C-alpha cells in the first residue's frame, strides 16, 4: 500500500514537471525555434529521465518489500501454488497421450 502511494505521488509530480514547459510556452508565447526545437528536446530528455527514475524506484520498493519476512512467505506460497498447478496440467496431458 505504501509503495503504491509513493508511486502515485511520484507520477503526479513527474507529470506536473513534464507539463510545466508546455504551459509556460503557451502563456509567454515562446519563439518558433524554442517551440519547435528546444521544447521537444527538453521534454524528450525529461521523459527519458523520469522513465529511468520510475524503473529504479520500482526496483527499490520491490527490494524493500521482498526483504520483509511476510512478503517472502507470501511469495513462496504463490510459487508453490503455481508449481502444483503446472504439475497437475502436465500430468493430465501426459495421461491423455
Q: Please write the tens of the pLDDT for every residue from 19-73.
A: 998 888 888 887 888 888 888 999 999 999 999 999 999 888 888 777 765 555 5
Same domain, yes or no, for 52 and 20? yes
Does 78 have pLDDT greater than 80?
A: no
Q: pTM (2 decimals)?
A: 0.61
**What own/partner pairs with CB < 8 Å and gap ≥ 24 does 89-97 have?**
none
Q: What is the pLDDT of residue 35?
A: 83
Note the pLDDT of residue 52: 93
Containing structural domain, residue 93? 69-97
**Into how many domains does the chain fold?**
2
Same domain, 21 and 43: yes
* H or E segment to which residue 67 belongs: none
Co-location of 2 and 24 in the same domain = yes
Alpha carbon separation from 56 to 2, 9, 61, 62 (Å, rounded): 16, 15, 9, 10
Distance CA 80, CA 73 (A): 11
pLDDT band of 14, cuts 50, 70, 90: very high
Amino acid at each position: 500500500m505504501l509503495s503504491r502511494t509513493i508511486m502515485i505521488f511520484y507520477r503526479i509530480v513527474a507529470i506536473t514537471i513534464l507539463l510545466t514547459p508546455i504551459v509556460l510556452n503557451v502563456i509567454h508565447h515562446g519563439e518558433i525555434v524554442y517551440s519547435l526545437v528546444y521544447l521537444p528536446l527538453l521534454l524528450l530528455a525529461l521523459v527519458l529521465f523520469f522513465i529511468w527514475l520510475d524503473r529504479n524506484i520500482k526496483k527499490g520498493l520491490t527490494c524493500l518489500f521482498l526483504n520483509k519476512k511476510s512478503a517472502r512467505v507470501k511469495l513462496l506460497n504463490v510459487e508453490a501454488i503455481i508449481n502444483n498447478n503446472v504439475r497437475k496440467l502436465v500430468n493430465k496431458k501426459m495421461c491423455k497421450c
